[in-house]
Copies of this chain bind each other. A is one copy, B any other.
Amino acid sequence: MVSDSPFLLAGVSLLSALQMGYLARRVGWARMAHKVLPPSVSGPPEFERTFRAHQNCVEFYPLFLVTMWTCGMFFGEVTAAVGGLVYMIARHIYFNGYVKSSKKRLPGFYLTLAVFALLSLLAFIGVLRGILHKYFHIHL
C-alpha cells in the first residue's frame, strides 16, 4: 500500500457497497411485511415497487463503479468521490420515492442520471487526454 493510493474512491466504494447491502435488506423486510416468501417476487404493489427499486439499483451499480473510478483515476479523485456521494444520495431518494409510488421514483432517478452524465464526461476527458499523451505524444 502506497500513501498515494485512492483512499477516497475506495472509501466511497465501500460505503456504496454497504448501501447496496442495506437496500437488499429493505427488500427482505418488505418480504416479511407483505408475506412474500422466496423465491416469489410477486405480491402487493408496494412490495413489487420495493423489489424493482432494488433491481434498478443493482442494474446500475457496476456502471456507477466504472464511471466513478475512471473519473477518479484519470480526471480528479476528490471530484469523483463527491460525485459518488451524490450518487448515493440520489439512489436513496430514488429508492424511498419508488417505495411510495412509481411516479415518486423520478426525481431521484433524474439526479442519478445527472451524476452519471457528469462523471462520464469528466472520465472521458481524462481518458482521452491520457490516450493522446501516451500513444500520440500530444500534451493537453
Contact = CB atoms under 8 A, between A and B. Distances in A.
Q: How many copies does the complex hold?
A: 3
Given A61-B62, A116-B21, A14 B124 contact: yes
Contact of A66 (B7, B17, B126, B130): B17
Contacts of A54: 59
B37 A102 contact: yes
**Range, interface on chain A:** 35 or more
Nearest to A134: B3
Given A7-B134, A16-B66, 6 more contacts: A1-B130, A18-B120, A20-B62, A38-B49, A39-B51, A39-B98
11 contacts: A7-B131, A8-B131, A10-B70, A10-B74, A11-B127, A13-B70, A14-B124, A17-B62, A24-B60, A39-B51, A41-B52
For the complex of A and B, 8 pairs with smallest distance between CB atoms: A39-B52, A7-B130, A17-B66, A17-B63, A39-B48, A11-B127, A39-B49, A7-B131
Interface of A: 1, 3-5, 7-8, 10-11, 13-14, 16-18, 20-21, 24, 37-41, 45, 48-49, 51-54, 58-63, 65-67, 70, 73-74, 98, 102, 105, 116, 120, 123-124, 126-128, 130-131, 133-134
